[in-house]
Amino acid sequence: MTEILDLVGIFVFALTGALMGVRKRLDVVGMAVLAEMTALGGGVVRDLILNVRPAAFQSLGYVLVPLAATVIVFFWHPHVARVMPVLLVLDAAGLGLFSAVGTQKALEYGLSPLHAALLGVVTGVGGGMLRDVLAGEIPTLLYDRQLYAVPALLGSGVMAGLSTGGLHGWPATLAAALLVFWLRVAAMRRKWRAPLAKGAEE
């Protein structure tokens, strides 16, 4: 079940990467690269830090799903763009799942709760950061004006806290993922923003 949810999250992240390729007028190869990086980048960085073989290189599905997303966007990107609000909700769910699972995996490999939570954030937002850098954009992580990294950080912290307190498995993962999802969706709907430095212009 976790792998299925993982692939769904990868698919949604890949769609956003491929759409970025369309906006940047990249060819299909560029779109595929952005889709793969967005979908898999955070998990690959996490696994490399943990010194384990990345999950993306253990299953064909992890590579083929982003390619399928690229094909869909290549042929039907106007239709995909029209359902972007739905994709953003699914993206919030993927952010929550990746952050929670990334934190749990880091704990299993012996990291402290603090470091595990930070690695959970990397898992959730790392792919998007790589996408932005490759596309020539300032990474969203550096101007978290739409509260993307903040929910991931809070959810990863809760995941680390629950695991440290003895609550493991899917109940802890679900609780942390739902917190991230709720905060991200609430931020989108209520237009919550992280504060700017005093005197800085919007």
Q: What is the pLDDT of residues 144-157, one digit of tens each?
A: 667 888 999 999 99
Q: What is the pLDDT of residues 56-96, one digit of tens each?
A: 888 898 999 999 999 999 999 899 888 888 888 888 888 99
- Sketch the domain layout of the chain as residue ranges: 2-190
Q: Is 48 left (phi over 0), alpha (psi -120 to 50) or beta?
A: alpha
Q: What is the pLDDT of residues 6-61, one digit of tens each?
A: 888 899 899 989 999 999 999 999 999 999 999 999 999 999 999 999 988 888 98
Identify the pLDDT of residue 201: 62
- Read off the pLDDT of each residue in 177-189 and give the average, rounded to a whole number: 93
- Read off the pLDDT of each residue in 117-126 and give the average, rounded to a whole number: 94
Q: Which amino acid, one-letter code, is at 107?
A: L
- Residue 199's SS3 state is coil
Structure tokens, 14 = 């890949």
